[in-house]
A and B are shown apart, each in its own frame.
Chain A
């Protein structure tokens, strides 16, 4: 990049919200990693929605005869990825499992996002509420996130899907609170806002076309990346046995932990769900990274 180009970039005026997004979309579309990420997630979403059509078997249909001679027979023509310790088709369970991982991720992030945005907005607008809210966030951040998630599940007395989603959601609150508050404070006395205000642009329009789009873009990036972390944390909680009460639920983390005992005889039972988790997490990470690069004005123009 030449100096002229750099200076030209610095002189460039801040685009309006719509332009920013169109621009970002263009960038994401041209980034190969982002495309890979989108494809990965699209496949998972497709599998999750159409699981009953795609999966060769029911995820809960047992066949004890198949494991009568030890756990567990590996991949075969009938069962492409083998069967688990109760003779259930591993592939079908993995396909249905996409539902749970995506659901847990989305719900958990939505909980964290909505609570966080609300608290962050309050802290950003009302100076009096700022300090107490932010100190509370400091306190929450002082407890290692995963430990806090375990603690929250413990409050319910038993593990479960809803409990896991709430726990991970709560752990995510400080991230979004800080982000929202920071954005609002930074945006509200930004030069272009002041400039717009001075030429008489109405407040509503400033809010709609300047503050919100610029404040929301880092939130979207963070939410995408938080989806990835939420899926990992949910699997981790499942791994510690805090997942769904019904052990037959084909949740990837639970599937992994329930078959760790067969790591020697049937390692595929732990490895396949592990790989499924990695793919889902990687997909969201790739999209999140690409969005960040595309939406961050400082990074724009760089590969």
Chain B
């Protein structure tokens, strides 16, 4: 098993190098010179020359790439042009926000999606089944931003039940040691702040969780249907084991394998959706940050942030692969 993990880690190296190369080339290919973007509206020929020199923009391209790798390796990602703050600092604040949002969305998706899919499969062809199919159809067919807008309009604006923007009410004095606001509230014993953070998460999480919910419900339904007809399940039933025990011991456990994979693979999807969800709810996460950086040509943020996000996606996929290996004896054996 260890060897399997190590081998996967080694395979990661070319991907990471390729990623850094891709991001590097992409930034150089963006229209408008970096020097122009760095200096902003009032750039003069003189100051552009100065920045080109400072940045080594006149050096050979491979030297620039090598310098770029060194910068990333040193952990200092530079300073954002828009906010004038170190990028690592911004990531420390914004990344937990997006993680918190993504986890909430996945919680929403799995807590509703798995039972829905399971019941749908058990009552195959019944009302619940049709309802689950309809819900997952809507889930995959409604654009995230449209759902987010509808939710915000209805529950925040018209009904006023939930807050419409941000992560925390400004009037709440809260400490943020980890920048995971719900966790922060719990750690510092500030239940009011924790509950407030949860309220701020509900609508964005539902919007972001809609597609994962649909997919989870679908996959659960399909894999439960699959497993139900497997020999060992039929054997177990034939042996007279109670239906609920069969469901628990055989059906659900075996169905969990594809489900967990799918859940893991949705991380890229979640980050894509986070860009739009965060925009609608003015949620200060990493999605809007990157999108604005691209629009505003905030080069330091683009080159640090996009790479950071991509590495996270790669690592999560690796973890999913490894845990899949742990769960699935066939792959585990092959890895030996």
| A/B touching: CB–CB < 8 A | yes
Which A residues contact B (CB, under 8 angstroms)? 6, 33, 135-136, 138-139, 141-147, 150-151, 154-157, 228, 232, 235-236, 239-240, 253, 256, 260, 263-264, 267, 270-271, 274, 277-278, 281-282, 285-286, 302-303
CA distance A232 to B273 in the complex (A): 11
Specify which chain A residues have a CB less than 8 angstroms from the CB of B153 in the assembled complex: 263, 267
Interface centre among B138, B145, B313 (most CB of A within 10 A): B145
B22 CB within 8 Å of chain A: yes
Beta-carbon contacts of B81-112 to A below 8 Å, as 1s and 0s?
00000000000000000000000000000000
11 chain-A/chain-B pairs, Cβ below 8 angstroms: A138-B15, A139-B15, A141-B268, A142-B310, A232-B141, A235-B146, A239-B279, A240-B279, A264-B157, A267-B153, A285-B141
- What residues on B are CB-neighbors of A270 within 8 Å? 146, 149
From the candidates B19, B144, B294, name the one contacting A150 in the complex (CB within 8 A): B294
Given contacts A139-B22, A141-B268, contact A146 B273 (CB under 8 A): yes
| Chain B residues with CB under 8 A of A228 | 140-141
Minimum Cβ distance to chain A for residue B11 (Å) = 9
In chain B, residues 277-325, which have Cβ atoms closer than 8 Å to a Cβ of chain A?
A: 279, 287, 290-291, 294-295, 306, 309-311, 313-314, 317
CA separation between A282 and B138, bound complex, in Å?
7
Size of interface on B: residues with Cβ below 8 Å to A: 47
Q: For A278, give its contact among B125, B142, B271, B311 (CB under 8 Å).
A: B142
Minimum CB–CB distance from A302 to chain B (whole Å) comes to 7
A267's nearest neighbour on chain B, judged by CB, is B153
Chain A residues lying within 8 Å of B335, measured Cβ to Cβ, are none
How many whole Å from A189's CB to the nearest CB in chain B? 19
Asked if B243 is at the interface of the complex by the 8 Å CB criterion, the answer is no
Separation of A33 and B137 alpha carbons in the complex (Å): 10
A156 contacts which chain B residues (CB < 8 A)? 31
Cα–Cα, bound, A263→B153 (Å): 7
**Distance between Cα atoms of A264 and B310 in the complex (Å):** 38
Contact of A136 among B18, B271, B273 (CB under 8 A): B18
Given contacts A256-B146, A274-B146, contact A240 B291 (CB under 8 A): yes
B150: CB under 8 A from chain A? yes
Question: Across the interface, do B15 and A142 meet the contact criterion of CB distance under 8 Å?
Answer: yes
A236-B290 in contact given A142-B313, A143-B306 (Cβ < 8 Å) = no
The answer to whether B309 touches A143 (Cβ under 8 A) is yes
- Select from chain B the residue with minimum beta-carbon distance to A253: B143
A143 with B310: in contact, given A154-B294, A155-B29, A157-B31 (CB under 8 Å)? yes
B244 to chain A, nearest CB (A): 23
Docked complex Cα distance between A130 and B317 (Å): 21
Closest CB in chain A relative to B316 CB, distance in Å: 10
Contact A235 B143 (CB under 8 A): yes
Beta-carbon contact of B275 and A147 below 8 Å: yes
Closest Cβ of chain B to A207, distance in Å, is 31
Contact of A154 among B14, B15, B295, B313 (CB under 8 A): B295
Beyond A145-B269, A278-B138, 16 additional contacts (C-beta under 8 Å) are A139-B15, A142-B310, A144-B268, A144-B271, A145-B272, A147-B271, A147-B287, A154-B294, A240-B275, A260-B149, A264-B157, A267-B153, A270-B146, A281-B143, A282-B137, A302-B225
CB contacts (< 8 Å) of B146 on chain A: these are: 235, 256, 270, 274, 277-278
Report the minimum CB–CB distance from B104 to chain A (whole Å).
18
CB contacts (< 8 Å) of B143 on chain A: these are: 232, 235-236, 239, 253, 274, 277-278, 281
Task: Output the least CB separation between B211 and chain A (Å).
Answer: 9
**Minimum C-beta distance from B136 to chain A (A):** 10
Interchain CA distance A66-B153 in the complex, whole Å: 25
Contact A282–B141 (Cβ < 8 Å): yes
Q: Which residues of B contact A274 (CB under 8 A)?
A: 142-143, 146, 149-150
Cβ-based interface call for B73 (8 A): no
In the complex, what distance in Å separates the CA atom of A270 from the CA atom of B153?
A: 11
**Residue contact B18 to A150, C-beta cutoff 8 Å:** no
Q: How far is the CA of A137 from the CA of B157 in the complex (A)?
A: 43
Q: Is the CB of B157 within 8 A of A239?
A: no
CA distance A146 to B309 in the complex (A): 13
Closest beta carbon of chain A to B189's beta carbon, Å: 36
Report if A142-B314 is in contact (Cβ < 8 Å); known contacts: A147-B306, A157-B32, A232-B143. Answer: yes
Complex alpha-carbon distance, A156 and B30, angstroms: 7
Nearest CB in chain A to that of B19: its residue: A139
B194 at the interface (CB under 8 A from A): no
Q: Which residue in B125, B273, B294, B306 is a CB contact (below 8 Å) of A303?
A: B125
Contact present for B149 and A135 (CB under 8 Å): no
Contact call B141/A154, Cβ cutoff below 8 A: no
Q: In whole angstroms, how far apart are the Cα atoms of A256 and B295 in the complex?
A: 20
